Structure 1
Amino acid sequence: MKQNLFLSKILNLKQLDLGLSIPSDEYQIQMKGLKNKIRDLTFLAKSKNKPVLIVFEGWDAAGKGGAIRRLTSEIDPRLFEVHHIAAPNEEEIKHHYLWRFWNRIPKIGHVGIFDRSYYGRVLVERVEGFASPPEWSRAYEEIFLFEEQLQSFGTIIIKFWLHISSDEQLKRFEERKNDPLRRWKLTDEDWRNRDKWQLYEDAANEMFHKTDSPKAPWLLVPANDKYYARVMVLEGVVNRLEEELKKN
Protein backbone atom coordinates (compact mmCIF):
# COMPACT_ATOMS: atom_id res chain seq x y z
CA MET A 1 0.00 0.00 0.00
CA LYS A 2 2.80 2.39 0.83
CA GLN A 3 2.82 3.93 -2.63
CA ASN A 4 2.10 7.61 -2.04
CA LEU A 5 0.30 8.67 -5.19
CA PHE A 6 0.30 12.27 -4.06
CA LEU A 7 4.07 12.45 -4.49
CA SER A 8 3.75 11.57 -8.16
CA LYS A 9 1.45 14.56 -8.73
CA ILE A 10 -1.05 12.96 -11.08
CA LEU A 11 -3.42 15.54 -12.56
CA ASN A 12 -5.25 13.39 -15.10
CA LEU A 13 -7.99 10.97 -14.14
CA LYS A 14 -7.07 8.47 -16.85
CA GLN A 15 -3.64 8.03 -15.25
CA LEU A 16 -4.99 6.84 -11.90
CA ASP A 17 -4.75 3.15 -11.05
CA LEU A 18 -8.26 2.23 -9.94
CA GLY A 19 -7.17 -1.32 -9.10
CA LEU A 20 -5.36 -0.23 -5.94
CA SER A 21 -6.79 -1.69 -2.74
CA ILE A 22 -5.92 -2.40 0.88
CA PRO A 23 -6.76 -5.43 3.07
CA SER A 24 -9.27 -4.91 5.86
CA ASP A 25 -6.81 -5.61 8.67
CA GLU A 26 -4.24 -3.16 7.34
CA TYR A 27 -7.01 -0.62 6.80
CA GLN A 28 -8.05 -0.79 10.45
CA ILE A 29 -4.47 -0.36 11.67
CA GLN A 30 -3.68 2.57 9.40
CA MET A 31 -6.95 4.36 10.07
CA LYS A 32 -6.45 4.26 13.82
CA GLY A 33 -3.02 5.86 13.55
CA LEU A 34 -4.13 8.46 11.01
CA LYS A 35 -7.18 9.49 13.03
CA ASN A 36 -5.01 10.04 16.10
CA LYS A 37 -2.63 12.20 14.06
CA ILE A 38 -5.50 14.25 12.64
CA ARG A 39 -6.91 14.86 16.11
CA ASP A 40 -3.53 16.13 17.32
CA LEU A 41 -2.87 18.20 14.20
CA THR A 42 -6.24 19.95 14.36
CA PHE A 43 -5.52 20.91 17.97
CA LEU A 44 -2.15 22.21 16.79
CA ALA A 45 -3.86 24.24 14.04
CA LYS A 46 -6.16 25.65 16.72
CA SER A 47 -3.21 26.66 18.89
CA LYS A 48 -1.57 28.39 15.90
CA ASN A 49 -4.81 30.14 14.84
CA LYS A 50 -4.71 28.43 11.45
CA PRO A 51 -7.98 27.92 9.55
CA VAL A 52 -8.17 24.69 7.54
CA LEU A 53 -10.35 24.34 4.44
CA ILE A 54 -10.84 20.83 3.03
CA VAL A 55 -12.62 20.52 -0.32
CA PHE A 56 -14.16 17.28 -1.59
CA GLU A 57 -15.12 16.83 -5.22
CA GLY A 58 -15.64 13.69 -7.27
CA TRP A 59 -18.17 11.47 -8.94
CA ASP A 60 -21.59 10.72 -7.47
CA ALA A 61 -21.28 7.66 -5.18
CA ALA A 62 -17.47 7.97 -5.08
CA GLY A 63 -17.47 7.82 -1.28
CA LYS A 64 -17.06 11.47 -0.30
CA GLY A 65 -19.50 11.20 2.59
CA GLY A 66 -17.86 8.09 4.01
CA ALA A 67 -14.41 9.65 3.78
CA ILE A 68 -15.63 12.80 5.52
CA ARG A 69 -17.19 10.81 8.37
CA ARG A 70 -13.92 8.94 8.99
CA LEU A 71 -11.91 12.15 8.71
CA THR A 72 -13.98 13.95 11.33
CA SER A 73 -14.54 11.04 13.72
CA GLU A 74 -11.67 12.00 16.05
CA ILE A 75 -11.72 15.80 15.57
CA ASP A 76 -13.15 17.83 18.45
CA PRO A 77 -16.73 18.61 17.30
CA ARG A 78 -16.24 22.22 18.38
CA LEU A 79 -13.47 22.64 15.82
CA PHE A 80 -15.08 21.58 12.53
CA GLU A 81 -18.11 22.15 10.36
CA VAL A 82 -19.20 20.21 7.27
CA HIS A 83 -21.00 22.10 4.51
CA HIS A 84 -23.03 19.98 2.09
CA ILE A 85 -23.20 22.13 -1.03
CA ALA A 86 -26.29 21.82 -3.21
CA ALA A 87 -27.67 24.08 -5.93
CA PRO A 88 -27.84 27.74 -4.86
CA ASN A 89 -31.09 28.83 -3.25
CA GLU A 90 -33.23 31.79 -4.26
CA GLU A 91 -31.18 34.27 -2.22
CA GLU A 92 -27.77 32.88 -3.17
CA ILE A 93 -28.48 32.96 -6.89
CA LYS A 94 -28.86 36.76 -6.69
CA HIS A 95 -25.18 37.10 -5.73
CA HIS A 96 -21.82 36.29 -7.28
CA TYR A 97 -21.38 32.50 -7.12
CA LEU A 98 -18.54 32.80 -4.58
CA TRP A 99 -20.69 34.79 -2.13
CA ARG A 100 -22.17 31.74 -0.46
CA PHE A 101 -18.73 30.24 0.01
CA TRP A 102 -17.27 33.38 1.55
CA ASN A 103 -20.05 33.01 4.13
CA ARG A 104 -18.86 29.49 4.96
CA ILE A 105 -15.07 29.79 5.12
CA PRO A 106 -13.61 28.50 8.40
CA LYS A 107 -12.63 30.94 11.12
CA ILE A 108 -9.17 30.90 12.69
CA GLY A 109 -8.30 27.63 14.37
CA HIS A 110 -11.25 25.78 12.85
CA VAL A 111 -11.74 23.24 10.07
CA GLY A 112 -14.28 23.82 7.31
CA ILE A 113 -15.17 20.91 5.03
CA PHE A 114 -16.97 21.39 1.72
CA ASP A 115 -18.81 18.35 0.35
CA ARG A 116 -18.96 19.81 -3.18
CA SER A 117 -17.71 23.35 -3.52
CA TYR A 118 -17.16 26.50 -5.55
CA TYR A 119 -15.57 24.25 -8.18
CA GLY A 120 -19.10 23.47 -9.30
CA ARG A 121 -18.77 26.56 -11.46
CA VAL A 122 -16.31 24.80 -13.77
CA LEU A 123 -17.89 21.35 -13.40
CA VAL A 124 -21.66 20.95 -13.20
CA GLU A 125 -22.45 24.56 -14.16
CA ARG A 126 -20.14 24.26 -17.16
CA VAL A 127 -21.34 20.85 -18.34
CA GLU A 128 -25.05 21.46 -17.72
CA GLY A 129 -25.04 24.96 -19.23
CA PHE A 130 -25.92 26.80 -16.01
CA ALA A 131 -22.93 29.09 -16.64
CA SER A 132 -22.07 30.54 -20.03
CA PRO A 133 -18.65 29.83 -21.60
CA PRO A 134 -17.35 33.32 -20.67
CA GLU A 135 -18.60 32.84 -17.09
CA TRP A 136 -17.01 29.46 -16.43
CA SER A 137 -13.87 30.34 -18.40
CA ARG A 138 -13.07 33.31 -16.17
CA ALA A 139 -13.94 31.30 -13.05
CA TYR A 140 -10.52 29.60 -13.05
CA GLU A 141 -8.81 32.89 -12.30
CA GLU A 142 -11.57 33.95 -9.88
CA ILE A 143 -11.17 30.73 -7.91
CA PHE A 144 -7.39 30.99 -7.96
CA LEU A 145 -7.60 34.52 -6.51
CA PHE A 146 -10.25 33.43 -3.99
CA GLU A 147 -7.94 30.71 -2.68
CA GLU A 148 -4.99 33.10 -2.74
CA GLN A 149 -6.89 35.47 -0.45
CA LEU A 150 -7.68 32.63 1.94
CA GLN A 151 -4.00 31.64 1.97
CA SER A 152 -3.01 35.23 2.74
CA PHE A 153 -5.25 35.00 5.80
CA GLY A 154 -3.33 31.89 6.84
CA THR A 155 -5.80 29.25 5.66
CA ILE A 156 -4.44 25.78 4.89
CA ILE A 157 -6.26 24.47 1.79
CA ILE A 158 -6.56 20.75 0.98
CA LYS A 159 -8.48 19.61 -2.12
CA PHE A 160 -9.54 16.06 -3.00
CA TRP A 161 -11.10 14.47 -6.06
CA LEU A 162 -12.41 10.94 -5.41
CA HIS A 163 -12.31 8.98 -8.65
CA ILE A 164 -14.17 5.79 -9.52
CA SER A 165 -14.84 4.02 -12.81
CA SER A 166 -18.16 4.27 -14.62
CA ASP A 167 -18.75 0.56 -13.97
CA GLU A 168 -18.10 0.97 -10.25
CA GLN A 169 -20.48 3.91 -10.10
CA LEU A 170 -23.20 1.87 -11.82
CA LYS A 171 -22.67 -0.94 -9.30
CA ARG A 172 -23.04 1.48 -6.39
CA PHE A 173 -26.11 3.10 -7.93
CA GLU A 174 -27.76 -0.32 -8.23
CA GLU A 175 -26.89 -1.11 -4.61
CA ARG A 176 -28.48 2.16 -3.48
CA LYS A 177 -31.57 1.57 -5.58
CA ASN A 178 -32.09 -1.79 -3.91
CA ASP A 179 -31.43 -0.55 -0.37
CA PRO A 180 -34.48 1.11 1.27
CA LEU A 181 -32.23 2.96 3.72
CA ARG A 182 -30.04 4.49 1.02
CA ARG A 183 -32.47 4.82 -1.88
CA TRP A 184 -33.05 8.50 -1.03
CA LYS A 185 -29.45 9.28 -2.01
CA LEU A 186 -30.10 8.35 -5.64
CA THR A 187 -31.84 10.86 -7.94
CA ASP A 188 -32.89 11.01 -11.57
CA GLU A 189 -30.17 13.60 -12.06
CA ASP A 190 -27.54 11.08 -10.92
CA TRP A 191 -28.60 8.71 -13.68
CA ARG A 192 -28.68 11.49 -16.31
CA ASN A 193 -25.20 12.67 -15.40
CA ARG A 194 -23.79 9.26 -16.38
CA ASP A 195 -24.58 10.09 -20.01
CA LYS A 196 -22.16 13.03 -19.78
CA TRP A 197 -19.33 11.13 -18.11
CA GLN A 198 -16.69 12.15 -20.68
CA LEU A 199 -17.73 15.80 -20.56
CA TYR A 200 -17.37 15.82 -16.77
CA GLU A 201 -14.02 14.03 -16.96
CA ASP A 202 -12.70 16.55 -19.49
CA ALA A 203 -13.93 19.42 -17.33
CA ALA A 204 -12.31 17.91 -14.23
CA ASN A 205 -8.94 17.41 -15.93
CA GLU A 206 -8.93 21.01 -17.15
CA MET A 207 -9.88 22.17 -13.65
CA PHE A 208 -6.95 20.29 -12.08
CA HIS A 209 -4.42 21.84 -14.42
CA LYS A 210 -5.77 25.39 -14.11
CA THR A 211 -6.37 25.50 -10.35
CA ASP A 212 -3.63 23.32 -8.89
CA SER A 213 -0.94 25.25 -7.02
CA PRO A 214 1.77 24.47 -4.44
CA LYS A 215 -0.31 26.04 -1.66
CA ALA A 216 -3.64 24.59 -2.80
CA PRO A 217 -2.81 21.30 -4.55
CA TRP A 218 -5.29 18.82 -5.92
CA LEU A 219 -4.97 15.31 -4.50
CA LEU A 220 -6.54 12.73 -6.84
CA VAL A 221 -7.67 9.61 -5.00
CA PRO A 222 -8.41 6.22 -6.64
CA ALA A 223 -11.67 5.27 -4.92
CA ASN A 224 -12.93 2.01 -6.44
CA ASP A 225 -11.77 0.45 -3.17
CA LYS A 226 -13.36 2.46 -0.35
CA TYR A 227 -10.81 1.36 2.22
CA TYR A 228 -7.94 2.51 0.03
CA ALA A 229 -9.63 5.85 -0.67
CA ARG A 230 -10.28 6.60 3.00
CA VAL A 231 -6.70 5.86 3.98
CA MET A 232 -5.41 8.05 1.16
CA VAL A 233 -7.70 10.93 2.16
CA LEU A 234 -6.63 10.84 5.80
CA GLU A 235 -3.00 10.43 4.79
CA GLY A 236 -3.33 13.40 2.47
CA VAL A 237 -4.74 15.56 5.26
CA VAL A 238 -1.99 14.48 7.67
CA ASN A 239 0.75 15.18 5.11
CA ARG A 240 -0.59 18.63 4.25
CA LEU A 241 -1.15 19.69 7.86
CA GLU A 242 2.27 18.48 8.94
CA GLU A 243 3.87 20.30 6.01
CA GLU A 244 2.07 23.59 6.64
CA LEU A 245 2.06 23.66 10.44
CA LYS A 246 5.79 23.09 10.76
CA LYS A 247 6.39 26.38 8.91
CA ASN A 248 5.26 28.47 11.85
Structure 2
Amino acid sequence: MKTFKSESRTLHLSQLGKNQILPPDEYQAKMKVLKNKIRDLTFLTKAKGKPVLFVFEGWDAAGKGGAIRRLTQEMDPRLFEVHNIAAPSSEEIQHHYLWRFWNRIPQKGHIGIFDRSHYGRVLVERVEGFASESEWSRAYEEILLFEEQLVSFGTIIVKFWLHIDSDEQLLRFESRKNDPLKRWKLTDEDWRNRDKWALYEEAANQMFAKTDAPKAPWFLVPANDKYFARVMVLETVVRRLEEELE
Protein backbone atom coordinates (compact mmCIF):
# COMPACT_ATOMS: atom_id res chain seq x y z
CA MET A 1 0.00 0.00 0.00
CA LYS A 2 2.62 2.58 1.03
CA THR A 3 4.75 1.64 -1.98
CA PHE A 4 1.82 1.96 -4.37
CA LYS A 5 0.74 5.36 -3.05
CA SER A 6 4.14 6.80 -2.17
CA GLU A 7 3.75 10.30 -3.59
CA SER A 8 1.20 12.93 -2.68
CA ARG A 9 -0.11 15.86 -4.71
CA THR A 10 -3.07 18.11 -4.16
CA LEU A 11 -5.97 17.59 -6.55
CA HIS A 12 -9.04 19.72 -5.95
CA LEU A 13 -11.88 20.78 -8.21
CA SER A 14 -11.45 24.40 -7.10
CA GLN A 15 -8.09 24.40 -8.91
CA LEU A 16 -9.72 24.07 -12.32
CA GLY A 17 -10.36 27.11 -14.47
CA LYS A 18 -13.51 27.63 -16.49
CA ASN A 19 -12.28 29.49 -19.54
CA GLN A 20 -10.20 26.93 -21.44
CA ILE A 21 -11.47 27.10 -25.02
CA LEU A 22 -10.14 25.39 -28.15
CA PRO A 23 -11.10 26.80 -31.57
CA PRO A 24 -12.76 24.28 -33.94
CA ASP A 25 -9.99 24.37 -36.55
CA GLU A 26 -7.29 23.76 -33.94
CA TYR A 27 -9.43 20.99 -32.43
CA GLN A 28 -9.74 19.19 -35.77
CA ALA A 29 -6.01 19.41 -36.47
CA LYS A 30 -5.02 18.15 -33.02
CA MET A 31 -7.55 15.32 -33.04
CA LYS A 32 -6.34 13.94 -36.36
CA VAL A 33 -2.77 13.65 -35.04
CA LEU A 34 -3.81 12.29 -31.64
CA LYS A 35 -6.14 9.62 -33.02
CA ASN A 36 -3.37 8.28 -35.27
CA LYS A 37 -0.98 8.14 -32.32
CA ILE A 38 -3.54 6.32 -30.19
CA ARG A 39 -4.16 3.78 -32.95
CA ASP A 40 -0.45 3.02 -33.13
CA LEU A 41 -0.08 2.88 -29.34
CA THR A 42 -3.02 0.49 -29.15
CA PHE A 43 -1.20 -1.94 -31.43
CA LEU A 44 1.93 -1.50 -29.33
CA THR A 45 0.04 -2.45 -26.15
CA LYS A 46 -1.15 -5.55 -27.98
CA ALA A 47 2.38 -6.43 -29.12
CA LYS A 48 3.74 -5.99 -25.58
CA GLY A 49 0.84 -7.82 -23.94
CA LYS A 50 -0.05 -4.89 -21.66
CA PRO A 51 -3.60 -4.54 -20.34
CA VAL A 52 -4.90 -0.95 -20.22
CA LEU A 53 -7.75 0.40 -18.08
CA PHE A 54 -9.27 3.83 -18.62
CA VAL A 55 -11.65 5.08 -15.93
CA PHE A 56 -14.07 7.92 -16.67
CA GLU A 57 -15.92 9.72 -13.90
CA GLY A 58 -17.42 13.20 -13.70
CA TRP A 59 -20.59 15.21 -13.49
CA ASP A 60 -23.75 14.25 -15.36
CA ALA A 61 -23.59 15.75 -18.89
CA ALA A 62 -19.85 16.46 -18.56
CA GLY A 63 -19.11 14.73 -21.87
CA LYS A 64 -17.73 11.35 -20.81
CA GLY A 65 -19.44 9.52 -23.66
CA GLY A 66 -18.21 11.98 -26.28
CA ALA A 67 -14.64 11.76 -24.99
CA ILE A 68 -14.78 7.94 -25.04
CA ARG A 69 -16.10 7.91 -28.62
CA ARG A 70 -13.23 10.11 -29.81
CA LEU A 71 -10.70 8.07 -27.86
CA THR A 72 -11.80 4.81 -29.49
CA GLN A 73 -12.55 6.12 -32.99
CA GLU A 74 -9.31 4.84 -34.57
CA MET A 75 -8.78 1.82 -32.30
CA ASP A 76 -9.13 -1.70 -33.63
CA PRO A 77 -12.57 -2.68 -32.24
CA ARG A 78 -11.23 -6.15 -31.44
CA LEU A 79 -8.84 -4.67 -28.89
CA PHE A 80 -11.12 -2.60 -26.65
CA GLU A 81 -14.39 -2.85 -24.76
CA VAL A 82 -16.45 -0.06 -23.21
CA HIS A 83 -18.32 -0.92 -20.00
CA ASN A 84 -21.20 1.40 -19.21
CA ILE A 85 -21.59 0.94 -15.47
CA ALA A 86 -25.11 1.27 -14.10
CA ALA A 87 -26.73 0.10 -10.88
CA PRO A 88 -25.70 -3.47 -9.93
CA SER A 89 -27.89 -6.33 -11.10
CA SER A 90 -29.70 -8.65 -8.70
CA GLU A 91 -26.81 -11.13 -9.06
CA GLU A 92 -24.08 -8.51 -8.64
CA ILE A 93 -25.61 -7.07 -5.50
CA GLN A 94 -25.16 -10.45 -3.79
CA HIS A 95 -21.36 -10.14 -4.12
CA HIS A 96 -18.72 -7.73 -2.87
CA TYR A 97 -19.10 -4.51 -4.89
CA LEU A 98 -15.74 -5.03 -6.63
CA TRP A 99 -16.78 -8.44 -7.96
CA ARG A 100 -18.44 -7.03 -11.05
CA PHE A 101 -15.36 -4.95 -11.86
CA TRP A 102 -12.99 -7.89 -11.49
CA ASN A 103 -15.16 -9.59 -14.12
CA ARG A 104 -14.59 -6.68 -16.52
CA ILE A 105 -10.86 -6.01 -16.24
CA PRO A 106 -9.02 -6.20 -19.59
CA GLN A 107 -6.89 -9.16 -20.56
CA LYS A 108 -3.29 -8.80 -21.72
CA GLY A 109 -2.97 -6.67 -24.83
CA HIS A 110 -6.51 -5.31 -24.56
CA ILE A 111 -8.12 -2.10 -23.38
CA GLY A 112 -11.00 -1.78 -20.94
CA ILE A 113 -12.92 1.47 -20.56
CA PHE A 114 -15.18 2.12 -17.57
CA ASP A 115 -17.87 4.75 -18.17
CA ARG A 116 -18.54 5.16 -14.44
CA SER A 117 -16.65 2.71 -12.32
CA HIS A 118 -15.77 1.13 -8.98
CA TYR A 119 -15.53 4.69 -7.64
CA GLY A 120 -19.30 4.77 -7.45
CA ARG A 121 -18.86 3.33 -3.97
CA VAL A 122 -17.36 6.60 -2.71
CA LEU A 123 -19.47 8.87 -4.92
CA VAL A 124 -23.11 8.06 -5.66
CA GLU A 125 -23.36 5.24 -3.09
CA ARG A 126 -21.89 7.51 -0.44
CA VAL A 127 -24.00 10.58 -1.24
CA GLU A 128 -27.26 8.74 -1.86
CA GLY A 129 -26.91 6.48 1.18
CA PHE A 130 -26.67 3.21 -0.75
CA ALA A 131 -23.54 2.36 1.28
CA SER A 132 -23.13 2.93 5.00
CA GLU A 133 -20.40 5.26 6.25
CA SER A 134 -18.29 2.31 7.37
CA GLU A 135 -18.67 0.70 3.92
CA TRP A 136 -17.66 3.71 1.85
CA SER A 137 -14.96 4.76 4.33
CA ARG A 138 -13.10 1.47 4.00
CA ALA A 139 -13.63 1.44 0.23
CA TYR A 140 -10.70 3.82 -0.35
CA GLU A 141 -8.24 1.21 0.88
CA GLU A 142 -10.10 -1.59 -0.93
CA ILE A 143 -9.92 0.35 -4.20
CA LEU A 144 -6.22 1.11 -3.77
CA LEU A 145 -5.51 -2.57 -3.17
CA PHE A 146 -7.65 -3.52 -6.19
CA GLU A 147 -5.72 -1.14 -8.44
CA GLU A 148 -2.38 -2.13 -6.91
CA GLN A 149 -3.05 -5.74 -7.90
CA LEU A 150 -3.91 -4.67 -11.44
CA VAL A 151 -0.70 -2.63 -11.72
CA SER A 152 1.32 -5.56 -10.35
CA PHE A 153 -0.16 -7.65 -13.17
CA GLY A 154 1.13 -5.07 -15.66
CA THR A 155 -2.05 -3.05 -16.19
CA ILE A 156 -1.73 0.59 -17.22
CA ILE A 157 -4.38 2.61 -15.37
CA VAL A 158 -5.47 6.14 -16.27
CA LYS A 159 -8.36 7.83 -14.44
CA PHE A 160 -10.26 10.90 -15.63
CA TRP A 161 -12.68 13.23 -13.91
CA LEU A 162 -14.51 15.48 -16.40
CA HIS A 163 -15.47 18.69 -14.65
CA ILE A 164 -18.11 21.23 -15.62
CA ASP A 165 -19.60 23.93 -13.44
CA SER A 166 -23.22 23.98 -12.30
CA ASP A 167 -24.29 26.65 -14.81
CA GLU A 168 -22.84 24.70 -17.75
CA GLN A 169 -24.55 21.53 -16.56
CA LEU A 170 -27.89 23.34 -16.43
CA LEU A 171 -27.42 24.58 -20.00
CA ARG A 172 -26.68 21.02 -21.18
CA PHE A 173 -29.66 19.63 -19.28
CA GLU A 174 -31.96 22.20 -20.92
CA SER A 175 -30.47 21.39 -24.34
CA ARG A 176 -31.15 17.68 -23.81
CA LYS A 177 -34.68 18.36 -22.61
CA ASN A 178 -35.44 20.33 -25.78
CA ASP A 179 -33.83 17.86 -28.21
CA PRO A 180 -36.01 14.81 -29.02
CA LEU A 181 -32.91 12.81 -30.00
CA LYS A 182 -31.16 13.48 -26.67
CA ARG A 183 -34.08 13.66 -24.28
CA TRP A 184 -33.61 10.03 -23.28
CA LYS A 185 -30.27 10.93 -21.69
CA LEU A 186 -31.96 13.15 -19.09
CA THR A 187 -33.64 11.54 -16.07
CA ASP A 188 -35.38 12.73 -12.93
CA GLU A 189 -32.35 11.44 -11.03
CA ASP A 190 -30.10 13.85 -12.94
CA TRP A 191 -32.19 16.79 -11.76
CA ARG A 192 -32.23 15.52 -8.17
CA ASN A 193 -28.45 15.13 -8.16
CA ARG A 194 -28.06 18.85 -8.89
CA ASP A 195 -29.55 19.58 -5.46
CA LYS A 196 -26.64 17.62 -3.91
CA TRP A 197 -23.88 19.32 -5.89
CA ALA A 198 -21.91 20.36 -2.80
CA LEU A 199 -22.05 16.82 -1.36
CA TYR A 200 -20.82 15.28 -4.61
CA GLU A 201 -18.04 17.85 -4.88
CA GLU A 202 -16.90 17.08 -1.34
CA ALA A 203 -16.96 13.34 -2.08
CA ALA A 204 -15.00 13.81 -5.32
CA ASN A 205 -12.29 15.89 -3.68
CA GLN A 206 -11.87 13.35 -0.91
CA MET A 207 -11.71 10.58 -3.49
CA PHE A 208 -8.85 12.32 -5.32
CA ALA A 209 -6.95 12.84 -2.07
CA LYS A 210 -7.25 9.21 -1.02
CA THR A 211 -6.91 7.34 -4.32
CA ASP A 212 -4.51 9.30 -6.51
CA ALA A 213 -1.36 7.20 -6.97
CA PRO A 214 1.69 7.48 -9.26
CA LYS A 215 0.78 4.28 -11.10
CA ALA A 216 -2.98 4.96 -11.07
CA PRO A 217 -3.22 8.74 -11.32
CA TRP A 218 -6.26 10.97 -11.53
CA PHE A 219 -6.44 13.61 -14.25
CA LEU A 220 -8.94 16.44 -13.71
CA VAL A 221 -10.24 17.69 -17.05
CA PRO A 222 -11.88 21.13 -17.40
CA ALA A 223 -14.83 20.23 -19.62
CA ASN A 224 -16.97 23.36 -20.03
CA ASP A 225 -15.57 23.41 -23.57
CA LYS A 226 -16.02 19.95 -25.10
CA TYR A 227 -13.28 20.44 -27.68
CA PHE A 228 -10.73 21.35 -25.02
CA ALA A 229 -11.77 18.38 -22.84
CA ARG A 230 -11.56 15.81 -25.63
CA VAL A 231 -8.11 16.96 -26.73
CA MET A 232 -6.86 16.97 -23.13
CA VAL A 233 -8.11 13.39 -22.63
CA LEU A 234 -6.42 12.14 -25.80
CA GLU A 235 -3.18 14.03 -25.09
CA THR A 236 -3.09 12.52 -21.61
CA VAL A 237 -3.67 9.02 -22.97
CA VAL A 238 -0.85 9.41 -25.50
CA ARG A 239 1.54 10.72 -22.87
CA ARG A 240 0.72 8.01 -20.33
CA LEU A 241 0.93 5.15 -22.84
CA GLU A 242 4.23 6.43 -24.22
CA GLU A 243 5.63 6.66 -20.67
CA GLU A 244 4.49 3.17 -19.73
CA LEU A 245 5.40 1.48 -23.01
CA GLU A 246 8.86 3.06 -23.37
Q: 2:65 — aligned with what?
A: 65
1:18 is displaced (CA, Å) by: 1.5
1:85 is displaced (CA, Å) by: 0.1
Superposed, 1:215-234 pairs within 5 Å as 215-234=215-234
For the 8 Å contact 2:57–2:161, the answer to whether it is kept is: yes
Q: 1:55 — aligned with what?
A: 55
Q: When the two structures are superposed, what TM-score results if normalisation uses the length of structure 2? A: 0.96
Q: 1:184 — aligned with what?
A: 184
1:53 is displaced (CA, Å) by: 0.1
Deviations 1:104-149 (A, max 9, x none): 0000000000000000000000000000000000000000000000
Q: Residue 125 of structure 2 aligns to which amino acid in structure 1?
A: E
For the 8 Å contact 2:50–2:154, the answer to whether it is kept is: yes
Give the unaligned 5+ runs of structure 2: 1-8
Q: Residue 121 of structure 1 aligns to which amino acid in structure 2?
A: R
CA RMSD of aligned residues (A): 0.7
Q: When the two structures are superposed, what TM-score results if normalisation uses the length of structure 1? A: 0.95
Q: 2:137 — aligned with what?
A: 137
Size of the aligned set, in residue pairs, is: 238
For the 8 Å contact 1:13–1:201, the answer to whether it is kept is: yes
For 2:200, what is the secondary structure of its paired residue?
A: helix
1:102 is displaced (CA, Å) by: 0.3
Q: Residue 216 of structure 1 aligns to which amino acid in structure 2?
A: A
2:190 paired with 1:172: no
Q: Residue 161 of structure 1 aligns to which amino acid in structure 2?
A: W
Deviations 1:151-182 (A, max 9, x none): 01100000000000000000000000000000
Superposed, 1:1-248 pairs within 5 Å as 11-246=11-246
For 1:18, what is the secondary structure of its paired residue?
A: coil
1:13 is displaced (CA, Å) by: 0.4
For the 8 Å contact 1:10–1:16, the answer to whether it is kept is: no
Give the unaligned 5+ runs of structure 1: 1-8
Distance 1:214 1:152 in 2: 13
Runs of 4+ in 1 over 6 A off after TM superposition: none
Distance 2:104 2:129 in 1: 25
Q: Residue 227 of structure 1 aligns to which amino acid in structure 2?
A: Y
For the 8 Å contact 2:10–2:209, the answer to whether it is kept is: no
Distance 1:93 1:236 in 2: 34
Distance 1:159 1:21 in 2: 22
1:10 is displaced (CA, Å) by: 5.8
For 1:219, what is the secondary structure of its paired residue?
A: strand
Q: Residue 227 of structure 2 aligns to which amino acid in structure 1?
A: Y
Identity of aligned residues (%): 80
